[in-house]
Amino acid sequence: MEQAAFTMFLRPGQAEEYRRRHDAIWPELAQALHDSGIRDYSIFLDPGTHVLFAVLRRTAGHTSDQLPQREVMQRWWRYMADLMETNADGSPRQGALVPMFHLD
C-alpha cells in the first residue's frame, strides 16, 4: 500500500456542514473511491487555521488519478464548492505533503 497525504482549505464557519456532508457520503462516491484503490481515508481539521489534512492509502496499481474524470467526483466537487477553496475546474485546492517521518 502506498500512503498519500495532502491539505485542503475549508472556509471559516463551515466545519459542521463539512462534517455533516461527509457523514452522509454518497454510496456511489464511496464506491468510486474504493474501486480506484483508495483505502483507509481520513480527513482531519485544524480548527485554528481551517486547514484540512487528508491521509489515505492506495493499493498497488490504483487508478485514483482518474477520479477527476468521473461524473460522481465532479458532482461531489460542485456539492462541496460552497464550503471549500476550489480551483477553476471545481476541484478542491490542495497542497501535497512531503513524508518526513513514519513509525510503524
Domain with residue 26: its CATH number is 3.30.70.100
58-83 mean pLDDT? 96
What pLDDT does 104 receive? 83
34 is catalytic: no
Q: Does residue 98 carry a pLDDT above 90?
A: yes
| Total number of domains in the chain | 1
Q: Would residue 9 count as lying in a domain?
A: yes
Q: Which of 22, 34, 50, 62 is catalytic?
A: 22
Q: Can you tell me which residue has the cell 480527513?
A: 43
How confident is the model over 6-55, as pLDDT tens digits? 999 999 999 999 999 999 999 999 999 999 999 999 999 999 999 999 99
pTM as predicted: 0.90
Pick from 61, 83, 78, 60: nearest CA to 9: 83
Helix (H) or strand (E) holding 6: strand 2-9
Q: Which residues, at least 6 apart from 96, have a Cβ–Cβ distance to it below 8 Å?
A: 5, 6
Q: Residue 4 forms beta bridges with which residues?
A: 56
Q: How far apart are CA 28 and CA 72, in angstroms?
A: 7
Mean pLDDT of the chain: 96
Q: Would residue 104 count as lying in a domain?
A: no
Q: Would residue 101 count as lying in a domain?
A: no
Q: Would residue 102 count as lying in a domain?
A: no
Q: Does residue 65 carry a pLDDT above 90?
A: yes
Q: Would residue 89 count as lying in a domain?
A: yes
87-97 mean pLDDT? 94
- State the residue range of the domain holding 26: 2-96
Q: Would residue 82 count as lying in a domain?
A: yes
51-68 mean pLDDT? 96
